[in-house]
A = this chain, B = another copy of it.
């Protein structure tokens, strides 16, 4: 198809498509003549992917390029590819991992509490540390609530990892995109779950 049809099918403007090609996010079309290039279904799929990633709040285009590069050239080790891809997603912790502070555990201690693997190089560790610091400055750390988070998020993760295809080439996009694109779904659902539970359980019918 021509670039105009590619634009029509994906809802991405011709100017933006050309910019993605120049920036290396999208492969050039196949040359038919000096002035025309032919695009195929792979271009459609890649453009839909870039568009969807572009809607992730706070994900800059350089990070989208890094994710796309990882999809095109994954590591042999699937876990390493997944970790690298997750590192591209916001938020981007500003500082190094802090130690334990009064009234709250360090990220390492918190993960130990719930039996999660701990790797200080994995960016989500610094992310957890920063988030725990902000939260516990106002609400005391509650071990039971944290254990509840750990249990249920582990169940969700095991269900998601169980669905990842055996083929490493298919597994990387699946894992990366599932994380990037389903986090906003999870966050929205979390608020809806709170609203649903509040409507059912507050204030008259609170269970013991």
Contact = CB atoms under 8 A, between A and B. Distances in A.
A79 B200 CA distance: 10
A200 to B, nearest CB: 8
A198 B79 contact: yes
B156 A149 contact: yes
Interface in A140-188: 142, 144-146, 148-150, 152-164, 166, 168, 171, 174-175, 177-179, 181-188
A95 to B, nearest CB: 12
Contacts of A187: 127, 131, 183, 186-187
A124 B195 contact: yes
A27 interface: no
A188 B131 contact: yes
A190 B159 CA distance: 12
Given A79-B198, A149-B186, A160-B145, A91 B135 contact: no
Q: Which of A83, A117, A159, A191 has the most CB of B within 10 A?
A: A191
Given A145-B160, A148-B156, A194-B157, A189 B137 contact: no
Contacts of A206: 162, 166
A56 interface: yes
Interface in A90-124: 90-91, 111, 116-117, 119, 122, 124
Would you call the interface of chain A mostly helix, strand, loop, or mixed? helix
26 contacts: A52-B135, A55-B134, A56-B134, A116-B193, A117-B195, A117-B200, A128-B185, A128-B188, A131-B184, A139-B178, A142-B163, A149-B185, A152-B152, A152-B155, A153-B189, A154-B197, A156-B190, A156-B193, A157-B194, A157-B197, A158-B201, A160-B194, A161-B202, A175-B198, A179-B194, A186-B187
